[in-house]
């Protein structure tokens, strides 16, 4: 990891480096993704099966693409019972948290004869993408499906890659069953996104696609946005630890590496007011890297996107954290709750030395599908809201409309929309004798 004095210039340089990881900069792959989308849209299953054969080296057909009840039953036998128990415990926490996000329709009325309101309606069909490349993510299954089901989505379709034997990871299948997936299909990559966006003979068209994925998945989601809704275009994982001299360097080092191990493009940043802590964290990181299983990925990630920033004071450190707007932000300071009140931009905030990022990934309850690449400045974590839409309700009695009709007509005429004005005025025409 590079150790850098925190300045406006160094922060700017880091941001420029991090933004190079954004899916908006993956232009060289766009033509390939566009070709996949176009072929699946035009040819349906034929193209879907062909791309699965080409990219995943596995043969799927209309008879084998959907996971069967027997395969799910087999998965339960293959997964360690203790893991199944943990999945069920995590589900309780995730459901409990997301149930608090649920919104209801509302209406207000007045004595002058008006009624206004908002009708909240769940989406009908949602597609969930679960990656299956460098790691396996049953936790992402829970985080996508649970808020959809709490919102009241009728039909949840899940797509995830299978292995060369045509099998989906059993832990992923168990998580899908426990969370309430209605259908699971053995396809991944951009072709899976295309299938859910446009529909094929085997996979139904959905209204919205959620879930993270690799570069090709991210670009495919970006391209189909408009044909369907999407949650966000996720970039590589990120963590920023904001720490002072009170932090435990071993804990900080471990937490930074928990995100760096995702892939070579993951980012791990420490912003601290203590040079002594910075030195100790660097030593601890070097020690951990030698012992951990994903050593090669960790080394590459830290080399390219790992930073230790040394700030003059806490206010400067907080300003840098807000500017970087990390996916995950840990606050490990003397008074973390006070610092938290000054944080404006972060996907998820973890407070205190015992609230490490993996707690949020797996168990605490808040969603771990979060904005990346600085988009925490304007995006939020995946939530129940993502699976609902809102319709405005308007009712005016004749008496209520009569009181304001001239105002509306004036407004419409000011915009030179005479048909708008007429739509109101015609209701108050004076009848000729």
Decide if 284 is inside a domain: yes
Tens-place pLDDT, residues 213-225? 888 998 999 999 9
- d(Cα 17, Cα 37) in Å, to the nearest integer? 30
pLDDT at 36: 97
Domain identity same for 254 and 335: yes
pLDDT over 90, % of the chain: 85
Per-residue pLDDT, averaged over 394-406, amounts to 95
Domain identity same for 241 and 330: yes
Domain identity same for 123 and 82: yes
Instruction: Please identify, among 230, 265, 284, the residue that sits at the C-terminal boundary of a domain.
Output: 230
Tens-place pLDDT, residues 312-352? 999 999 999 999 999 999 999 999 999 999 999 999 999 99
pLDDT at 22: 66
Domain identity same for 209 and 248: no
pLDDT exceeds 80 at position 14:
yes
Average pLDDT value over all residues in the chain: 93
Instruction: Please identify, among 199, 230, 261, the residue that sits at the C-terminal boundary of a domain.
Output: 230
Whether the CB-CB separation of 133 and 160 falls below 8 Å is answered with no
Domain identity same for 52 and 122: yes
Contacts of 309 (CB under 8 A, 6+ apart): 4, 5, 6, 10, 11, 14, 269, 270, 271, 272, 317, 320
- In b/e form, how buried is each residue of 238-250, taking b as 16+ CB within 10 angstroms? bbbbbbbeebbbe
Domain identity same for 187 and 82: yes
Whether the CB-CB separation of 58 and 132 falls below 8 Å is answered with no
- Residue in this structure with the two tokens 């899976």, named with its chain if needed: 192
Decide if 89 is inside a domain: yes
Instruction: Please identify, among 230, 262, 287, the residue that sits at the C-terminal boundary of a domain.
Output: 230
Contacts of 189 (CB under 8 A, 6+ apart): 36, 51, 52, 55, 56, 161, 213, 214, 216, 217, 220
Domain identity same for 145 and 49: yes
Q: Which of 238, 261, 262, 328 is catalytic?
A: 328
Decide if 365 is inside a domain: no
Tens-place pLDDT, residues 238-266? 999 999 999 999 999 999 999 999 888 89
Domain identity same for 101 and 17: no
pLDDT exceeds 70 at position 24:
no
The sheet with strand 267-272 has its strands ordered as 2-5, 306-310, 267-272, 238-243, 328-332, 348-351
Domain with residue 311: its CATH number is: 3.40.50.1980
Domain identity same for 262 and 290: yes
Decide if 159 is inside a domain: yes
- Residue in this structure with the two tokens 């850098």, named with its chain if needed: 4
- d(Cα 96, Cα 108) in Å, to the nearest integer? 29
- In b/e form, how buried is each residue of 9-37, taking b as 16+ CB within 10 angstroms? ebbeebbeebeebbbeebeebeeebeebb
Domain identity same for 42 and 8: no
Domain identity same for 70 and 199: yes
Residue 328 among the catalytic residues: yes
The CA distances from residue 187 to 33, 114, 172, 335, in Å, are 15, 51, 14, 47
Two tokens at 132?
Answer: 């299956």
Two tokens at 387?
Answer: 């699976």
CA dihedral of 315, 320, 323, 326, whole degrees rounded to 10: -120
pLDDT at 26: 63
pLDDT exceeds 90 at position 234:
no
SS3 (DSSP) at 349: strand
Decide if 351 is inside a domain: no
Domain identity same for 117 and 42: yes
Give the range of the structural domain holding residue 88, as residue numbers without chain letter.
25-230
Decide if 380 is inside a domain: no
Residue 420 among the catalytic residues: no
Helix (H) or strand (E) holding 184: strand 183-185
Domain count, the chain: 3
Compare 334 and 16 and report the one with higher pLDDT. 334
Decide if 373 is inside a domain: no
- d(Cα 181, Cα 431) in Å, to the nearest integer? 61
Decide if 122 is inside a domain: yes
Q: Which of 261, 327, 330, 409 is catalytic?
A: 327
């Amino acid at each position: 990891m590079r150790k850098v004095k925190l300045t406006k210039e160094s922060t700017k340089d880091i941001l420029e480096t991090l933004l190079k990881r954004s899916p908006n900069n993956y232009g060289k792959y766009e033509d390939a993704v566009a070709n996949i989308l176009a072929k699946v849209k035009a040819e349906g299953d034929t193209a879907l099966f062909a791309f699965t054969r080409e990219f995943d080296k596995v043969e799927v057909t209309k008879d084998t693409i959907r996971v069967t009840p027997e395969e799910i039953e087999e998965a339960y036998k293959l997964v360690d019972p203790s893991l199944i128990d943990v999945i069920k415990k995590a589900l309780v926490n995730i459901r409990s948290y997301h149930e608090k996000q649920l919104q209801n329709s509302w209406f207000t009325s007045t004595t002058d004869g008006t009624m206004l309101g908002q009708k909240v309606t769940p989406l009908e069909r949602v597609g969930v993408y679960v990656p299956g490349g460098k790691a396996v993510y049953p936790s992402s299954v829970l985080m996508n499906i649970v808020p959809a089901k709490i919102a009241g989505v009728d039909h949840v379709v899940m797509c995830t890659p299978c292995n060369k034997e045509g099998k989906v990871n059993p832990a992923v299948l168990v998580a899908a069953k426990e969370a309430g997936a209605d259908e699971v299909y053995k396809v991944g990559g951009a072709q899976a996104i295309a299938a859910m966006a446009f529909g094929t003979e085997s996979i139904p068209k959905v209204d919205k696609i959620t879930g993270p994925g690799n570069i090709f998945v991210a670009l495919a989601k970006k391209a189909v946005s408009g044909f369907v809704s999407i949650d966000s275009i996720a970039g590589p994982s990120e963590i920023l630890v904001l720490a002072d001299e009170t932090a435990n360097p071993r804990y900080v080092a471990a937490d930074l590496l928990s995100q760096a191990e995702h892939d070579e493009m993951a980012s791990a940043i420490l912003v601290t007011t203590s040079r002594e802590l910075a030195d100790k964290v660097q030593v601890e990181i070097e020690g951990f890297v030698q012992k951990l299983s994903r050593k090669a990925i960790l080394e590459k990630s830290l080399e390219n996107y790992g930073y230790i920033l040394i700030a003059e004071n806490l206010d400067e450190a907080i300003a840098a954290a807000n500017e970087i707007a990390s996916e995950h932000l840990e606050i490990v300071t003397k008074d973390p709750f006070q610092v938290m009140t000054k944080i404006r931009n972060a996907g998820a905030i973890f407070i205190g030395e015992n609230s490490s990022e993996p707690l949020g990934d797996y168990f605490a309850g808040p969603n771990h599908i979060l904005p990346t690449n600085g988009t925490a400045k304007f995006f939020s974590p995946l939530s129940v809201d993502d699976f609902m839409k809102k319709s405005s309700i308007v009712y005016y009695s004749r008496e209520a409309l009569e009181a304001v009709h001239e105002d509306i007509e004036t407004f419409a005429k000011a915009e030179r929309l005479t048909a708008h004005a007429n739509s109101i005025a015609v209701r108050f025409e004076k009848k000729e004798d």
